[in-house]
Structure 1
Amino acid sequence: MINLCFHGIGAPPHGVPTAEAAYWIGADTFRRVLDLVGERPDVRLSFDDGNSSDVDVALPELADRGRTAEFFVIAGRLGEPGSLSADDVRGLRAAGMGVGSHGMHHRVWRRLSRAEQHEELVVARDLLQDVLGEPVRTAACPLGRYDRGTLTALRRLRYDRVYTSDRALARPGTWRQARFSLRAHDTADDVATWLRHGDRYTTRLADSARTFVKGLR
């Protein structure tokens, strides 16, 4: 199966960091991708960062197609201009979408101090749980980066599933889920190529080996 990850949809608002703006795609491209994947059960959709385009653009398009997705929210940005509000997050959940944690400050989770790790993996989740009034059981590693220490901490904290951005195939039901993150220059044709990624046994084998090694670092 393939997990597709979106960030911002449309033109990046003023003030979006350059590194994040590189992951914003046009609304037309987004719609073409949704039409391309249709109702395929082997394609899962997710959104990182908690940008306001999640509700302004993505949610109506998903609803029109009867698709669901998981939204990974940066808890420390709740209510900031250009980001989701607490009511937005509750609205996503009420619409049948999943909500997971993307940490507190969008910083890489590798090699954090004990206090920083607690803030990113525990405090951020607690904040989202307070907003939703229910457990938050999934997380997505900021910038897709992780190491053995990150994965160990996430397991210890009993996250049910963790998402990365390894541009590799994912196996249904596994705890660590690789994703293909769309970037500003990606097109629906590029996604069509990714959807054919799993047709080759050698590619699937290489993906498994690469992600396994990353988890040992």
Structure 2
Amino acid sequence: MINICIHGIGTPSKSVPAAEAAYWIGIDTFRRVLDQVAERTEVRLSFDDGNTSDVDVALPELVDRGRVADFFVIAGRLGHTGSLSADDLHRLRRARMGVGSHGMHHRVWRRLSPAEQHEELVVARRRLEEVLGEPVRSAACPLGRYDRATLAALRRLHYTRVYTSDRALARPGTWRQARFSIRAADTADDVAAWLRHGDRYAVRLADSARTFVKGLR
């Protein structure tokens, strides 16, 4: 199984931090990626950060192709300029898209204080649940980073699925799901290479071993 993660689509505004702008891709690249995975049922798409391009660009393209995806929202940015609004979250759900938590402030979840961890994993999810009127059960680790304590906390809080950015393959149905995050410099041809990567059995075994070890840190 291959999880592909997308962030912003189009041209990022000047308010987008440089570290995040490095993950924005062009609209044409995005469309080409969708066309490449159109018939690949083992490919799952997700979107991080909750940028308005999620509904302005991604949602119509997904609906046109009959695809669903998961959108991981930074709760602390909800309703801010350039970020999704409460109405946008309802629009995603009406289109059968999944909505999960990407924390409160887009900070790395490794080595947080107890108060910081509570804000990122509990308060952020609660804010999204209040907007949606339904449970939020999945999360994506900001910047893809995590450690053993992070994973233990997410399990303790009954998140049913957690996504990382390990640039590795994922096993269907597992609790922790590795993803390939598309960067600004990546092309649709790079994504095609990832798909070929997933067709090789030996690579699948190596990816599983590598992500297992990362969870022990």
Q: RMSD between aligned alpha carbons?
A: 0.6
Gaps of 5+ in 2: none
Alignment match, 2:51 = 51
What does 1:162-173 correspond to in 2, within 5 Å? 162-173=162-173
Number of aligned positions between the proteins: 217
Q: Which residue of 2 aligns with 1:158?
A: 158
| Residue 201 of structure 1, CA deviation | 2.2
Rounded to whole Å, the distance in 2 between the matches of 1:153 and 1:10 is 35
Q: Extract structure 1 runs of 4+ deviating beyond 6 A.
A: none
Map of 2:71 onto structure 1: 71
Written as runs of structure 1 = structure 2, the 5 A alignment for 1:1-217 is: 1-217=1-217
In the TM superposition, residue 202 of structure 1 has moved relative to its aligned partner by: 2.0
Displacement of 1:93: 0.7
How far residue 39 of structure 1 moved from its aligned partner, in angstroms, is: 3.3
Which consecutive unaligned segments of at least 5 residues does structure 1 have? none
Q: Secondary structure in 1 aligned to 2:173?
A: coil
SS in 1 for 2:198: helix
- Deviation per CA, 1:109-155: give whole Å up to 9, x if none: 00000000000000000000000000000000000000000000000
- Aligned-partner Cα distance in 2 for 1:193–1:104: 34
CA distance, structure 1, for counterparts of residue 50 and residue 113 of structure 2: 25
> In the aligned structure 2, how far is the partner of 1:61 from the partner of 1:13?
21
Q: Is the 8 A contact 1:45 1:70 kept in 2?
A: yes
**AA partner of residue 49 (structure 1):** D
Return the alpha-carbon distance in structure 2 between the equivalents of residues 31 and 150 of structure 1: 34
Q: Which amino acid aligns with 2:22?
A: A
TM-score, length basis structure 2? 0.99
Q: Cα offset for 1:85?
A: 0.5
